[in-house]
Structure 1
Amino acid sequence: MHTRLLSTDDQGLAIACDWLSQGDVVAMPTETVYGLAGDARNATAVARIYEAKGRPSFNPLIVHLPDRVAAEKVAHFDDAARALAAAFWPGALTMVLPLREDAGIASLVTAGLDTVALRVPAHPVAHALLERFGGPLAAPSANPSGRISPTAAAHVADTETGLGGRIPAVLDAGNCPVGVESTIIGWVDGRPALLRPGGVSAEQIEAVLGQPLTRPAINPDAPNAPGQLTSHYAPRASLRLNATSVAPGEVMIGFGEVAGELTLSASGDLAEAASNLFDLLRQADATGRPIAVATVPETGLGAAINDRLRRAAAPR
């Protein structure tokens, strides 16, 4: 299969919708990373997402929708969920909520759970595609399962490290501005819980809810949200964290005052670091050398960056 790069004009959106309507998959840009979209109501389309990525079927997907009205047709919202939607949608927040019995979502999307992960993306191309398609789109990151997430169309279409040759098309909207996946929030024993750090900080969410988020223990063999596998976002090379200097033969990714051959952010800006993270991991991996990464603070977006780095460095 040849993977085609589509423009994001009316013609490109029309072609993408044609493939989606036929039960196929198309990679689309979001503000976080590129997602591999398929009709969330069509079991064949969802199976194609898992097949293209090589993703284990026990790992649930995020359903993308154009607005909260559409989202409330899929899941049950309470006052806290509506408050978070009002504050952060459209945007880089995913909520895991009780699935409606009449939602019409393919069971593969939820991995058989009675909850569903929902997000309203802020990227104008993702929104235009959702509006034009007229239905919910399941869309995990558009990369081989466990590997570095894509923040550019070229990452998706790469035949060695991406999905090139496995999917028909990518809507090419340039680089993703946020650069790390969405934050995932759920409710465990009635209390709001951080299931995955991401593009919205825990501190921002806690300010809206007026209470702290719990951090429940995660079972990577039975995830209740995407992004919880022990090894994830991984380059082919080994990865050493919290490096203060480069060892012989390594390529160094610096941050702040710790310089490197590549640098997440020389000024120590966490938003810049998040935006650069996956692209720099790809650049470092392309050298064929082991990778070292400088320490990143565990505050704000740093929590999401460190979560991705720890999983990328985990044993495979």
Structure 2
Amino acid sequence: MMGTKTERLSATLADITRAAGILRSGGLVAFPTETVYGLGGNARNDDAVAAIYEAKGRPSFNPLIAHLPSVEAAKRYVSWSDQAERLARAFWPGPLTLVLPLLEGHGISPLVTAGLDTLAVRVPAHSAARALLSAFDGPIAAPSANPSGRISPTSATHVRAGLDGRIEAILDDGPCTVGLESTILGLFDRPTLLRPGGISADEVAEVLGAAPLTRNGAEAITAPGQLQSHYAPSSSVRLNALDRRGDELLLGFGDMDCDVNLSQSGDLIEAAARLFAALHELDQTGRPIAVAMIPQYGLGAAINDRLRRAAAPRNI
């Protein structure tokens, strides 16, 4: 991705149409929301989502928020509830993200959900974001448009400083008005505040009639903006394997004899895009999994981060 010529686009109809076309072709577009600028990719395209991680240098595959143009669009991907309806009426479009169970046949890349069976969804209020989402007519996965670990961007200038040459385009429509990431609320057994943001817990409580629970930092990851990861196969996982032992199945990388290959050509973007699907495929056999060595650079660092967590001892 490095060395890409980054187009400068504005919030005109022609440029928004151009940005939507880039997204449909699998490219990345930074765009403004009322909170911060997001780095958008087609949430249904594995390669596009993997490219988001590559461009950001994101250290692990944390869940991403799927941005949508309307409540009706969100209902195509997640199981809606009365609580979701009340919150959406109160705060959408706006800086509130809801985490809800995925519907069957959702088509969302597993890299967006980080292997979870839930999806974080938001309808942003920014006019340019809404225009782009309508023109694209699908879910756009978008973390903040900055290199991982850097200050979140609230202007196109901030985005250019960190990502110029790494992404296809930046849609510039001036500074963000909120400047703070969205509040993330998990609608599980009890509404749970997963990340504070532009909507306060008191405002949420006023709509729901009770204060949301607060997430315990030691719990497994359930949403964007949290540090721990969660996905692990039910079978044991052995890393840096050179061959199979016993009845193991081998998850390979590069030109090698294996049962499932993340990338025959050794392409880390392809490997990242295939990671979760490959682990699921092997896990369904019930046999132990051995994983070949993955280079520890670029997206390889993120792949290895996920694999280390998958191989870690589990609490039974």
TM-score with structure 2 setting the length = 0.69
Q: Which residue number corresponds to residue 114 of structure 1? A: 117
1:125 aligns with 2:124: no
Q: Assess if the C-alpha contact under 8 Å between 1:27 and 1:35 holds in 2.
A: yes
RMSD: 1.3
Query: SS at 2:178's partner residue?
Result: coil
CA distance in 2, matches of 1:140, 1:80: 25
Provide the residue aligned with 2:19 in structure 1: 16
Contact in 1 for aligned 2:33/2:129 (Cα 8 Å):
yes
Query: Pairwise mapping of residues 51-200 of structure 1 onto structure 2 (< 5 A)?
Result: 51-158=54-161, 162-188=162-188, 190-200=189-199
Distance 2:215 2:168 in 1: 39
1:207 maps to what in 2?
206
Shift of 1:127: 0.3
Q: CA deviation at 1:181?
A: 0.5
**Do 1:31 and 1:177's aligned partners in 2 also have CA atoms closer than 8 Å?**
yes
Residue 223 of structure 1: how far off its partner (Å): 2.2
Aligned residue in 2 for 1:274: none
Determine whether 1:33 maps to 2:33: no
Q: 1:118 is paired with a residue of what secondary structure?
A: strand
Matches of 1:10 and 1:191, distance apart in 2:
42
- State the TM-score, normalizing by the size of structure 1: 0.69
- Between the aligned partners of 1:39 and 1:46, the Cα distance in structure 2 is 7
Instruction: Look up the SS of the partner of 1:140 in the other structure.
Output: coil
Which stretch shifts more, 190-199 or 10-19? Answer: 10-19
For 1:169, the aligned partner's letter is A
Q: Give the AA of the match of 1:50.
A: Y
Contact 1:58 1:223 in 2 (8 A): no
Letter in 2 for 1:55: R
- Residues 67, 223 of structure 1: CA spacing in aligned structure 2 closer, same or farther, 3 A cutoff? same
Instruction: Say if 2:184 and 2:196, in contact at 8 Å, map to a contact too.
Output: yes
How many percent of aligned residue pairs carry the same amino acid? Answer: 60
Distance in 1 separating the partners of 2:51 and 2:61? 15
In structure 2, the gaps of 5 or more residues are: 229-316
Distance apart, 1:3 and its partner CA: 2.1
Conserved? CA contact 2:96–2:199, under 8 Å: yes
- Mapped contact 1:29–1:126 kept (Cα < 8 A): yes
Q: Hey, what's the Cα distance between the residues in 1 that align with 2:53 and 2:221?
A: 16
Checking the alignment, whether the CA contact within 8 Å between 2:77 and 2:106 is kept in structure 1 is yes
How much has 1:95 moved relative to structure 2?
A: 0.4
* Among candidates 229, 233, 236, match of residue 227 of structure 2: 229
Higher RCO (CA-CA < 8 Å; seq separation 6+): 2
Task: State the AA in 1 paired with 2:225.
Answer: G
Larger of the two Rg values belongs to structure: 2
Does the CA contact (< 8 Å) of 2:84 and 2:187 recur in 1? no
| Contact 1:151–1:176, Cα closer than 8 Å, also in 2 | yes
Cα deviation, 1:64-103, whole Å, max 9, x if unaligned, reads: 0011111011000111111001110000000000011211
Give deviations 1:84-125, integer Å, cap 9, x for gaps. Answer: 011100000000000112111011100000000000000000
Cα distance in structure 2, aligned partners of 1:83 and 1:22: 36
Give the residue type in structure 1 aligned to 2:193: L
Where do 5+ consecutive residues of structure 1 fail to align?
Answer: 231-316
Verify the 8 A CA contact 2:28 2:168 in the aligned structure 1.
Answer: yes
C-alpha displacement of 1:226: 1.1
Q: Distance in 2 between matches of 1:20 and 1:58?
A: 20
Q: CA deviation at 1:31?
A: 0.3
How many residues were matched structurally? 225
Q: Rate the CA distance shift 1:6–1:219 in 2: closer, same or farther, 3 A.
A: farther
* Structure 2 counterpart of 1:177, one-letter code: T
Partners of 2:221 and 2:59 in 1: CA distance: 11
Query: Corresponding residue for 2:252?
Result: none
Alignment of 1:263-302 (within 5 A): none
Deviation at 1:13, TM superposition (A): 0.8
> What is the rounded CA distance, in whole Å, between the counterparts of 2:7 and 2:157 in structure 1?
11
Aligned residue in 2 for 1:217:
216
Q: Secondary structure of the equivalent of 2:163?
A: coil
1:229-269 Cα offsets, whole Å, 9 max, x none, are 39xxxxxxxxxxxxxxxxxxxxxxxxxxxxxxxxxxxxxxx
Query: Which whole-Å CA distance do the structure 2 matches of 1:144 and 1:229 have between them?
Result: 16
